[in-house]
Amino acid sequence: MKVVALGCDKSGYPALLRWGEKELLPFEEVEVFSIPCLGLVTEEMIFQILENSDALLLAGCPLDSCHNQKGSRGAYLKTKRVNSLLQEADISKKVAIAFVTSGKIGEIEKVSEEFIWREK
């Protein structure tokens, strides 16, 4: 299963890197990128990424401590929307979003578990 992971400069990306350092990741392939803020993510980008991968994992600041106030929230709303469109269209790909800080990566693990279960 191929997963693309996108993290914001401030918290998501550092957290993803720490997660990536762990020995056993549940996916065959993971690509990790950084962007200045999750607020830049558009539905179009998400679809473009999904054309070449099975799932997208977004990692950003927690909703009430986003460095840009609403960047994480914007990405959260878009994730919800894309997932409901994908579901309506019966497409089995998925987008997940994890709210993390560079020190706390627990949610990434939790959220990626969902992907594993789905694959099974």
The residues binding another protein (CB under 8 A) are 2, 9-10, 13-14, 17, 20, 25, 27-37, 39-45, 47-51, 61, 64-71, 74, 78, 85-86, 88-91, 93
Strand 55-60: give its sheet, edge to edge: 29-35, 2-8, 55-60, 94-99
* Residue 105 CB, nearest approach to another protein (Å): 14
CA trace torsion 39, 16, 99, 68 (10° rounding): -30
Helix orientation angle between 71-88 and 43-51, rounded to the nearest 10 degrees:
50
- Measured from the CB atom, is 46 or 96 closer to another protein? 46
- Measured from the CB atom, is 25 or 111 closer to another protein? 25
- Measured from the CB atom, is 93 or 97 closer to another protein? 93
* Residue 39 CB, nearest approach to another protein (Å): 4
Tokens for 48, please give them: 């473009």
What is the DSSP-derived secondary structure letter of residue 47? H
User: Quick check: 106 and 114 in contact, CB under 8 A?
Assistant: no
* Residue 106 CB, nearest approach to another protein (Å): 18
DSSP three-state, residue 60: strand
- Measured from the CB atom, is 2 or 110 closer to another protein? 2
* Residue 12 CB, nearest approach to another protein (Å): 11
